[in-house]
Structure 1
């Protein structure tokens, strides 16, 4: 398919342009990303980024450079990279890319999307079961208290099976409307598989020489009662356990980005961001890239995996994850996003997501485990994180 990019025009910035791209998404052939900077729909495939031993950023740059044409907008690579460093990525250059403003600026995003008969159709299996997950948390806490390591992020999954294939476009619309200010995505993740989700966390974005990273760590559930919701938020800002967990992540982000930047600004204390289900401690890190050849994916690769999705020290945390989790994370806690041939782009931490294959959806959620953690609290945190996607698919625990 020939490569083309549609420049923003009066038509694409009209009210409804972003929701029109959301409505146009079709599984298998399309790649959809909605971020606070803009909405992207990629259709078809002009080129696939190969998998080999070279760094992903180098492979992406090589493919994009080969497709660059004088006088044309820079080509764009879109897709997902997995948690495991040696596993294949799912990155491609769409044949056509359409852009629109952010979904949060589109007045039509407020229109509700009803559930269309799939609410009672799901069979749910928890992997591992909550009690087994709690045992893994307790074992990790005991090892941390013995001084073996500082933090690990332990995840669990929900396997949802239906009598028919799920309606992925409808799920994507519900996710986008539930939190239009977040990062909503649906991209192929492998043969016959689609990664779909709504992440609250930007790993890194680059525009020209300017970078932004927004690590999140430490969370509390939202409440339907306003007074209780405010109490949860205030308690999170004063929680020693959560503030420590957040500080570890921010320190790792600073350490990874500082060698690549001529300047880096890191606030002293976190603020709060909210999703439909959770409050999060958030720090917005900004800086100037020292070398103009350092791309968005170079920056993202330097950061991945942060302690927010792995732990610290990273090598020990990876080993504990492999021992404790009875499944392969695949794209979960990897990164999903886009990059153009100029090196600009956005890469998002792949959380609040599911991988669809046939009649099955596999949902993922994790919790940061530190020495002050309890099995009950971390199990409850994963349950709260599952709610974002369960709402979209019309299922419940």
Structure 2
């Protein structure tokens, strides 16, 4: 794949070709401001200091309405080869974090702990076909496929179906929908409804969610003349999990930052990193294997400053050979977290992507 695709329930943005490539978001944003670039599209890595995968494309299209693939070719069988780390190690990592977060002397309040699964396909996977299966299975998600060549990873592709909008800007209006606080869906309808009520009432999950909302409030206050944040989260569901969500809107003051500027301002949020952000980021980098572009941001921004960026969760990185991929799942850890419950949560989240490939996720 040599391009970019972001299919939302409301629109589809595609790009082809590369007029200019940027591994630095600041340089890309500067070219948008000067008019040197008509549109920037691509991905930001989890670690803001890492190399981005952004391009000013030769061609781009934006169409209204959802993407309805004309065909859905069969995918080759995909199977899990390894868990990174194995479940026992993930449990140990979460237990260590819970102890650290429970220490009254520790400034940490929340850390997002992730794990990944390494999988292999019997034949090369076509990113476009994978994305078509994902959008068919998750029509309300933001489905993406991004070439990572600009970040020094020639031929690799970031793929996913995320439920989380980092930030969207249209004119002077900015909208966000952060997610934090999760429980798996249950097959029995009554038990599933009870699970949703439990999530909404959970002090642990509401604490986790509040860190995200307050951090976003602090960040946006510097650029918004008006900001509307509901006092209570609402429930959002995917086929695999229940989430706590908050729909945030704001009116930007002049000079209005672009959608890319806003993405850089907000990423990484406590929803995928932790609180306080800098300390949580360093904790994750010390504790985990390299996340790459998992829980980074995927999106686009035009020369007028409008655009949309989604959080790159429920995602995987596909190797250049199309055969091997690494899928990720994570969860927010606070002092009240239970390690086993957190492991189950990551398993449910991993099913979002791997389920779209009809690949079984180990319990």
Q: TM-score, normalised by structure 1?
A: 0.85
**Could you tell me which residue of structure 2 aligns to residue 379 of structure 1?**
343
**Could you tell me which residue of structure 2 aligns to residue 8 of structure 1?**
none
State the SS of the aligned residue for 2:199.
Answer: helix
**Could you tell me which residue of structure 2 aligns to residue 33 of structure 1?**
6
Q: Which of 124, 131, 134 pairs up with 1:172?
A: 131
> Relative to structure 2, which stretch is displaced further, 164-173 or 199-208?
164-173
Residue pairs, 1:146-161, within 5 angstroms: 146-147=103-104, 148=106, 149-161=108-120
Q: Which of 88, 96, 99 pairs up with 1:131?
A: 88
Residue pairs, 1:1-397, within 5 angstroms: 27=1, 29-51=2-24, 56-62=25-31, 65-67=34-36, 75-103=38-66, 108=68, 113=72, 115-116=74-75, 118-119=76-77, 121-147=78-104, 148=106, 149-190=108-149, 191-325=154-288, 327-357=289-319, 358=321, 359-396=323-360, 397=362
Q: Distance in 1 between matches of 2:225 and 2:262?
A: 14
> Relative to structure 2, which stretch is displaced further, 231-240 or 376-385?
231-240
- 1:162 Cα deviation after fit: 3.0
- 1:64 Cα deviation after fit: 6.5
Q: CA RMSD for the aligned pairs? A: 1.8
Check whether the contact 2:13–2:61 (CA below 8 A) recurs between aligned residues: yes
- 1:292 Cα deviation after fit: 3.5
Structure 2 residues without counterparts, runs of 5 or longer: none
Q: Distance in 2 between matches of 1:128 and 1:248?
A: 27
Q: Distance in 1 between matches of 2:352 and 2:247?
A: 23
Check whether the contact 1:64–1:340 (CA below 8 A) recurs between aligned residues: no
- 1:57 Cα deviation after fit: 4.1
Please identify runs of 4+ aligned residues in structure 1 that moved more than 6 A: none
Q: TM-score, normalised by structure 2?
A: 0.93
Q: Distance in 2 between matches of 1:220 and 1:145?
A: 22
Structure 1 residues without counterparts, runs of 5 or longer: 1-26, 69-74
Q: Distance in 2 between matches of 1:372 and 1:231?
A: 21
Deviations along 1:302-324, whole A, 9 cap, x unmatched? 11111111111112212221222
Q: Distance in 2 between matches of 1:46 and 1:317?
A: 36
Check whether the contact 1:339–1:346 (CA below 8 A) recurs between aligned residues: yes
Q: Distance in 1 between matches of 2:89 and 2:22?
A: 39
- 1:262 Cα deviation after fit: 0.5
- 1:125 Cα deviation after fit: 0.6
Check whether the contact 1:209–1:292 (CA below 8 A) recurs between aligned residues: no
Q: Distance in 2 between matches of 1:50 and 1:115?
A: 34
State the SS of the aligned residue for 1:159.
Answer: strand
State the SS of the aligned residue for 2:148.
Answer: strand
- 1:43 Cα deviation after fit: 1.5
Check whether the contact 2:101–2:334 (CA below 8 A) recurs between aligned residues: yes
- Which has the larger Rg? 1
Q: Distance in 1 between matches of 2:7 and 2:17?
A: 18
